[in-house]
Structure 1
Amino acid sequence: MTQPHPPAPSSSSAALRVLVTGATGFVGRAVVAELLRRGYAVFAGSREGQGLPGAVGVKADVTSREGMQVAVDDVQPGAVVHLVGIIAEKGAQTFGKVHVEGTRNVLAALPAGARYLHMSALGADPSSKSGYSSTKGQAEQLVRASGVAYTIFEPSLIFGPGDDFFGRVLKNLVSQAPIVPQIGDGHFPFRPVSIQDVAAAFAGALERPETVGQTYELTGPAEYTFRELLQLELSALGKRKPIVPVPLPLMNLAVPLMNLLPSPPITKDQYAMLLEGSTGDPEPARRAFDLPMLNLEKELPQLLKK
Structure 2
Amino acid sequence: MRIFVTGGNGFVGETVTRQLLRDGHDVVVGSRDGESVDGARGVRIDVTDFGSVQRAFGEVQPQGVVHLVGIIAEVKKRGQTFERVHFEGTRNVLAATAPGTRYVHMSALGARPDSKSGYSATKGRAEQIVRGSPLAWTILRPSLIFGPGDDFFGRVLRQLVSQGPVVPVIGDGGFLFRPVSVEDVALAFSRAFSTSASVGHTYDLTGPTEYRFDDLLRLELGALGKRKPLVHVPLALMKLAVPMMQILPAPPITRDQFAMLLEGSTADPTAARTTFDLPMLRLEDALPRILGAQSEKPSRAVVSGD
TM-score (ref. length: structure 2):
0.94
> In structure 1, what residue type is equivalent to 2:106?
M
RMSD, aligned CA: 0.8
- Alignment partners' CA distance in 1, 2:103 and 2:120: 21
Q: Which residue of 1 aligns with 2:60?
A: 75
Pairs within 5 Å for 1:88-237: 88-91=73-76, 92-237=79-224
Q: Which residue of 2 aligns with 1:20?
A: 5
TM-superposition CA deviations, 1:3-36 (whole Å, max 9, x none): xxxxxxxxxxxxx110000111110000000001
Deviation at 1:56, TM superposition (A): 0.4
Deviation at 1:50, TM superposition (A): 1.2
- Alignment partners' CA distance in 2, 1:213 and 1:175: 44
Q: Helix, strand or coil: the match of 2:228?
A: coil
* Conservation of the 8 A alpha-carbon contact between 2:111 and 2:124: yes
* Conservation of the 8 A alpha-carbon contact between 2:174 and 2:214: yes
* Conservation of the 8 A alpha-carbon contact between 1:169 and 1:266: no
Q: Helix, strand or coil: the match of 2:149?
A: coil
- Alignment partners' CA distance in 1, 2:244 and 2:88: 30
Q: Helix, strand or coil: the match of 1:154?
A: strand
Higher relative CO (Cα under 8 Å, sequence separation at least 6) belongs to 2
- Alignment partners' CA distance in 2, 1:243 and 1:177: 11
- Select which of 27, 34, 43 maps to 2:28: 43
Q: Aligned residue pairs: how many?
A: 291
> In structure 2, what residue type is equivalent to 1:61?
D
- Alignment partners' CA distance in 1, 2:86 and 2:11: 17
Question: Does 2:243 correspond to 1:256?
Answer: yes
- Alignment partners' CA distance in 1, 2:136 and 2:212: 36
What is the percentage of aligned positions where both structures have the same residue?
A: 64
* Conservation of the 8 A alpha-carbon contact between 1:172 and 1:265: no
5+ long unaligned stretches in structure 2: 294-306
Question: Does 2:276 correspond to 1:289?
Answer: yes
Q: Helix, strand or coil: the match of 2:232?
A: strand
Question: Does 2:38 correspond to 1:53?
Answer: yes
